[in-house]
Amino acid sequence: MTISPGEIAALAGIAVLGSVVFGITGFGAALITIPLATHLVPLQFALALFVLMDLANAFRIGFENPKHALRGEWIRLVPTIVLGTVAGVTLLVNLPRQAATLALGIFVLAFALYSLTRRAEARAVLAARWAYVAGFAGGITSTLFGAGGPPYAMYLSHRGLTKEQYRATLGLATLTSISLRTLAFLATGILLEPKVWACAAAIVPAGLLGLWGAGHLFRRISRDALMRAVSLMLLASGASLIVRAFG
């Protein structure tokens, strides 16, 4: 596979955009980067490339305010994140490319519709046992689609946490998930391709630039407004992936 300088530049632009979203919301980078990148490179290559960026960003955000993270919530999530990661990477290496593209499109489209239709005031508190479901779902979607954050965010946003507790605990869960995904990709050889690391030399710095930009945008744009714009873009992206899978 040959990647042109123009394609690397486009991937770097995607990295900046995804990192801006991650820096403001605490999750969601892969919902931007992976669907867009798969229009340029194969899904497995995109997942391997952007996990390196995600890991760098997650270390930056995950240890931002660790004192606010709730240890009990994290401990409940971790065991099933591990199980979900194993299940997800097994599916990834065995699914045909067309089926993987279709599954990614459906996942992205479903999350976009959820984000657009959910009511902000609907904040019923979930029981702690739902952590095991969220952890397993996040582990699967993290390795299969590069996006483990949504299940963790859905769960933690309904646990009655303060804004600081939510962001810190979500950051720690995301860091755990991305670290496990990186190890899984190394173990299966997905992350051992030299071209991945060559492209990462441009993508990782671009991602950190986007994270820096997010810090300046944080006070100028509301989280809800950003997520609504992202959701509209995801509708188009998810639909295009589904069309490609049947094309």
* CA distances (Å), origin 127, targets 12, 74, 166, 194, 198: 40, 14, 16, 45, 45
- Rounded CA-CA distance 25/170 in Å is 10
**What's the confidence (pLDDT) of residue 219?**
64
The listed range with the strongest mean pLDDT (116-125, 142-151, 176-185, 215-224) is: 176-185
Mean pLDDT of the chain: 84
Structure tokens at 247: 């094309």
Single pTM value for the model:
0.80
Say which residue the tokens 């976009």 belong to: 112
**What's the confidence (pLDDT) of residue 62?**
65
Say which residue the tokens 């904040």 belong to: 123
